Homo-oligomer: A and B are copies of this chain.
């Protein structure tokens, strides 16, 4: 979803030749598996100036399939980084692309301070978060060694995520907005007091674009940044929905407490102090109301 929107944005901005790759077949793209040795080399041989790496296996799947998560999210990322390093080491040399890597707030695990600052440890509570945290460390080391010029951005939970409901534990954060806005019922498995950290798809694309343009000398050796978001409780989400779409939308939310989901959500970050990213010019959504309006403008028209 982010990849599709990013490509549309890059096309609109007219960035020159665009090379797309995914493991699943799609229009205009190279279909290959970065976690297969040798595949990353084929892509990197074309020497792209700018690489967005949006990998890959989501948290639920990485938790259910331990080997697949490590193979795709860790080995795949490392193969890509190694391919860049080796390309730069070839006769002629001089290849040092910008690499923008999407990390996640899943690199953090409870217990948390009130707001997670830029110096808080990565202690993930999922294999997915572990794979992202390891990739962040590699990104910083490869950048420090001069093999490429990397920026890692820790995306907040994307909301409103377009498309159909899925089985992701975090699905309800979007579902309680997306389904009512489409006139359908949505299930809310957690209490109204649950607080979480959000960015719209528009903000996410803007983070990626800004990351590709900032002067990385300002980052120093710490190449990974928590992105600014909106901290909102479920209650605040619902009130924003009421303001934007009225009581009839809110009435479509059905409360069905689920202790299993509640337990998972308890380990998730709630709020950040994303000072470094703000100083570097990354901007959060203006309000949760806007997050809902963007969804209506971009997906429902």
Residues of A participating in the B interface, judged by any CB pair closer than 8 Å? 66, 85, 109, 113, 118-125, 127, 130, 133-134, 137-138, 140-141, 144-145, 221-222
Identify which of B119, B120, B124, B145 contacts A141 (C-beta below 8 A). Answer: B124
The chain B residue with its CB closest to the CB of A112 is B119
Q: Cβ of A145: which chain B residues have Cβ within 8 Å of it?
A: 66, 127
Identify which of B118, B125, B127, B138 contacts A130 (C-beta below 8 A). Answer: B138
Q: How far in angstroms is the closest Cβ of chain B from A107?
A: 9
Taking the full assembly, how many copies of this chain does it contain? 2
Q: Contact: B123 with A222, CB < 8 Å?
A: yes
Q: Contact: A137 with B121, CB < 8 Å?
A: no
Q: How far in angstroms is the closest Cβ of chain B from A245?
A: 39
A122 CA to B120 CA, complexed, in Å: 9
Identify which of B119, B138, B144 contacts A121 (C-beta below 8 A). Answer: B119
Q: Contact: B134 with A137, CB < 8 Å?
A: yes
The chain B residue with its CB closest to the CB of A119 is B121
Given known A-B contacts A127-B145, A145-B127, A137 and B109 have beta carbons under 8 A apart: no
Q: Cβ of A113: which chain B residues have Cβ within 8 Å of it?
A: 119
Q: Contact: B141 with A109, CB < 8 Å?
A: no
A137 CA to B222 CA, complexed, in Å: 18
A137 CA to B109 CA, complexed, in Å: 12
Q: Cβ of A221: which chain B residues have Cβ within 8 Å of it?
A: 109, 123, 125
